[in-house]
Structure 1
Amino acid sequence: MAQVNGLEGRRVLVLGHGVAGASALQACRDLGVAAECVDPSGSADHVSLDTVDLSAVDVCMSSPGFAPHHPWVTAVQEAGIEVVSEMEFAWRVRDPKAAWVLVTGTNGKTTTTQMTGAILGAGGIDVAVCGNMGIPVIAAARESHDVLAVEIASLQLHFTSTLSPHAAVCLNADEDHLDWHGSVEAYRADKAKVYERVQVACVYGAHDSLVESMVAEADVVEGCRAVGVTVGSPAVSQLGIVDDVLVDRAFHDARRREAVELGAVDDLSHLVAGTVPPYLAFNALCAAALARAVGAAPEAVRDGLRGFSLDAHRTAFVARVGDVDWVDDSKATNAHAAIAAFGGRAPQSVVWIAGGLAKGQEFDDLVQRVHPRVRAVVLIGEDPEPLATALQGHAPDIPVTRIEPGDTVMARAVQAAQAAAMPGDTVLLSPACASFDQFRSYADRGEAFATAVASLEG
């Protein structure tokens, strides 16, 4: 049964009436906790914080859309009211039976979280995959499950203070959401919170000194272990790959002498065309580590990965028109994710559709790394300058077509890409930016791309 955990008799203010806010309000109603909501859209109890009696509020749940420097958040804090995140709120109203495993990172969160769910499900463990995709975490937390596999962003980690998962991983910590956090340092500090109060295993990339330092500095529960993941041969307390076999030297008693076989790299081959890219194997091993931390058997890793399918809009093949392949990677909402797309499915010659909300990112490293693979660029987005500047500085030889904003932006982008493509090319939608300047979501952007490509076929 769900608990109230510190909310008994308290009055809750919810900032934002989106998915997180609506879930929090429903939880309060179900638990008999007094709550009211403020949202400028007019869909809540109040459209302005000025109409709320803050002296009558005990705790505030701030939705991810409200940055720490938002005037409403600072006003609530100045009134001495505790501010909690969506994830912290979910933890306080959770069914205490469930073990939580958390996945964060600049790129790969959804894939790794869903892989974790697939492995646990294959092992007969009742798991809810939730967070930034699928079931809202507040709703999932109040249901009866053995495990919650939770995708958690840095925005949702900022206002956490008591959340204590069984296991957690930070896949990577490149630059993202700098407009929300204010600086790279603040962004990485919030990412590091995923390891606070972990009970069993802090999982990290053995090659990543930055994330390893997050683990070393975390205040964890006594007995919690650091578990490294590598795409090479693993040391003790690591998972890795030996002769294309996924192996575990962390979660079994004889780990100092031998490794346990979990599956094979080939178990992922159905997910991509050609060779399985290292980032995908890394994600699978991180998922395996999280699942093993809550008791999944070795064979569950193999069975879960064999039955797994990638989320829509992540390097998804859309069509072949003539001799040109069209690939939807709309889920690449930052530069790190776009780099991964070029390292995976894309061949040597790419017409790249990119752009959107830059979120304070810089794109110099991205352009330098993908430059040799790109024939032409089609830029979308209401503010294309950050990407255009990086292209001009590091790839001035690549032709760039800018698409003006408007209702037919994706159709015009696809037409421009078709005009630039040569036989054997791939047109890759991998924006490296958020979608909300011109689309409802990255999924809406990807669907617009697929629709436009279908019109070319017709």
Structure 2
Amino acid sequence: MTPAGGPSRTDAPADPGFAAALRERAVCVAGLGVSGPPVVRALLARGARVSVVDAREDDATLDLARELRAEGARVLLGEHTLPAETDLVVTSPGWRPDAPLLAQAGAAGVEIAGDVELAWRLRPAGQRWLAITGTNGKTTTVRMLEAMLRADGRDALAVGNVGTPIMAAALPGGPRPAPDLLAVELSSFQLHWSATLAPHAAAVLNVAPDHLDWHGGLEAYAAAKGRIYAPGTLRVANADDAWSTHLARTCGDPAAPLYGFTLGTPRAGQIGVVEDLLVDRAFAADPQGGAEELASLADVVPAAPHNVANALAAAALARSVGAAPESVRAGLAAFAPEPHRMAPLGSVAGVDYVDDSKATNPHAAAAALASFASVVWVAGGLLKGAEVEDLVREAAPRLRAAVLLGRDRDRLRAALARHAPDAAVVEVEAAAGEDAMEQVVRAAAGLARPGDTVLLAPAAASMDMFTDYKERGRRFAEAVAARA
């Protein structure tokens, strides 16, 4: 890793010509999801002629369509082709590149951008972005980074894929003045549709198979993550993750500084762990000969290894803009974990229950399973093309039993039979409904012994049985509470 140095770059100014050129420009907004309405309103405010296309025609979409039509947008519901005269498409990040409208736009030479790309081009002059992507840990790391920056007295806001749409929060004229610093969570989908995005500093936390059905394979998925390392962007890489390091070196700007974070003892140019301390040998005054203490492991809640890695990544990005060491500790103290991420639910009859419903892929589930010695594992759902052999093989010594649910549970059952044949397995065949998690918790309680942990870490998405991972975690917590 490159040792510490001065500032990585002069942040590129916003493009005032692009904002001016939106007036009377024909723009199609593809999708009315979370990001769609803020994009429509930002474009209308800048004088664009906006058409909106969404295949859904449910009551909520119809209500939203009425609102946007009253504000000046043309809204087309149901299946539609590209509106005539369109010269820019702003797509929802969830739309696949082979979606008919996007394919039509590409064939016609119409530019396609995502909401993040649009926000980048419209950002106020002087605003700096600190960007984070990775298969797992993005939301936690962004929230930690925001807390560290605020503890340092900075005007900072966490945006992106964290519940606050970037268009609604980051631009002038939004619900609050545009902040000076953005801690931006970016998915692989958002990065795929970002052409000119160039953050001040960026980190890839980790890369493991996920969303392969959308990207078409691991290489394409990783390449989308690597777009975060733009020309001039200061690079922060996970020294313990081969993909993260590879992307920082091959996708990033070789002229930009490269720093690392590690759960081991840090070398010069890295932030890491020495005994029970988080220490900085990247941005310290003397990274070759010394280190600066940032925090202790006790300041990281929960102190599971993957969460310590999140804290180290956030610290590196905060330090990249000059945050003081004591602000890292203060930020960690102020940070409150998001729901459904390794959330303890209490103990019943000597058995601990933990909700990690956000573990929607095998990589996240592996990190959760590694945090406990003896586990009754609640897993299953939509695997999205991911493989589970390595996950089950590595977790096998910790598994007392497993309770499986969801559409792709047969693949987990087969892997458990091969790699953890001594673990008892119960399948819950309930369809989507109120009692699925009651059956799951009843079965898990019957399999657990005092000292065990019943862990909801599904390794899969939830939409086959639940609205989202939040509902899945909430129903699990309710079933545990009822049993207690």
Q: How does 1:97-136 map to 2 (within 5 A)?
A: 97-136=126-165
* TM-score, scaled to structure 2: 0.88
Partner of 2:103: 74
Is the CA contact (8 Å cut-off) linking 2:159 and 2:165 kept in structure 1?
A: yes
Candidates 370, 379, 382, aligned match of 1:357: 382
The unaligned stretches of length 5 or more in structure 1 are none
Quick one: structure 1 residues 47 and 385, their matched pair in 2 at CA, closer, same or farther if it must change by over 3 Å? farther
Quick one: structure 1 residues 4 and 432, their matched pair in 2 at CA, closer, same or farther if it must change by over 3 Å? farther
Quick one: structure 1 residues 111 and 31, their matched pair in 2 at CA, closer, same or farther if it must change by over 3 Å? same
Could you tell me which amino acid in structure 1 is paired with residue 132 of structure 2?
V
Quick one: structure 1 residues 281 and 299, their matched pair in 2 at CA, closer, same or farther if it must change by over 3 Å? same
Percent identity for Structure 1 against Structure 2? 45
Is the CA contact (8 Å cut-off) linking 2:88 and 2:111 kept in structure 1?
A: yes
Aligned mates of 2:150, 2:466 — CA distance in 1:
34
Instruction: Give how far 1:180 is off.
Output: 0.5
Aligned mates of 1:141, 1:5 — CA distance in 2:
19
Partner of 2:46: 31
Quick one: structure 1 residues 442 and 5, their matched pair in 2 at CA, closer, same or farther if it must change by over 3 Å? farther
Candidates 303, 307, 312, aligned match of 2:330: 303
Q: How does 1:48-197 map to 2 (within 5 A)?
A: 48=78, 50=80, 52-53=82-83, 55-142=84-171, 143-197=177-231
Quick one: structure 1 residues 266 and 383, their matched pair in 2 at CA, closer, same or farther if it must change by over 3 Å? closer
Could you tell me which amino acid in structure 1 is paired with residue 250 of structure 2?
E
Instruction: Give how far 1:181 is off.
Output: 0.4
Aligned mates of 1:414, 1:218 — CA distance in 2:
45
Instruction: Give how far 1:127 is off.
Output: 0.9
Aligned mates of 1:400, 1:134 — CA distance in 2:
36
Aligned pair 1:322/2:349, yes or no? yes
Aligned mates of 2:101, 2:412 — CA distance in 1:
32
Aligned mates of 1:322, 1:119 — CA distance in 2:
39
Could you tell me which amino acid in structure 1 is paired with residue 355 of structure 2?
D
Aligned mates of 1:71, 1:396 — CA distance in 2:
46
Partner of 2:22: 8
* TM-score, scaled to structure 1: 0.93
Quick one: structure 1 residues 27 and 172, their matched pair in 2 at CA, closer, same or farther if it must change by over 3 Å? same
Aligned pair 1:412/2:439, yes or no? yes
Is the CA contact (8 Å cut-off) linking 2:259 and 2:270 kept in structure 1?
A: yes
Could you tell me which amino acid in structure 1 is paired with residue 344 of structure 2?
F
Aligned mates of 2:267, 2:133 — CA distance in 1:
24
Could you tell me which amino acid in structure 2 is paired with residue 439 of structure 1?
F
TM-align CA RMSD: 1.9
Instruction: Give how far 1:253 is off.
Output: 4.3
Is the CA contact (8 Å cut-off) linking 1:39 and 1:46 kept in structure 2?
A: yes
Partner of 2:281: 249
Aligned mates of 2:236, 2:17 — CA distance in 1:
28
Partner of 2:295: 263
Aligned mates of 1:189, 1:2 — CA distance in 2:
25
Q: Which moved more, 1:31-40 or 1:98-107?
A: 31-40
Aligned mates of 2:275, 2:339 — CA distance in 1:
31
Instruction: Give how far 1:392 is off.
Output: 2.4
Is the CA contact (8 Å cut-off) linking 1:234 and 1:241 kept in structure 2?
A: yes
SS at match of 2:310: helix
Partner of 2:409: 384
SS at match of 2:278: strand
Candidates 428, 436, 456, aligned match of 1:429: 456
Aligned mates of 2:146, 2:458 — CA distance in 1:
27
Instruction: Give how far 1:167 is off.
Output: 0.6
Instruction: Give how far 1:413 is off.
Output: 1.4
Quick one: structure 1 residues 2 and 139, their matched pair in 2 at CA, closer, same or farther if it must change by over 3 Å? farther
Q: Which moved more, 1:94-103 or 1:364-373?
A: 94-103
Q: How does 1:228-243 map to 2 (within 5 A)?
A: 228-243=260-275
The unaligned stretches of length 5 or more in structure 2 are 1-12, 66-74, 172-176
| CA shift digits 1:8-36 (9 cap, x unpaired) | 23221111101011221121122222212
Is the CA contact (8 Å cut-off) linking 2:30 and 2:91 kept in structure 1?
A: yes
Aligned mates of 1:11, 1:4 — CA distance in 2:
18
Partner of 1:212: 245
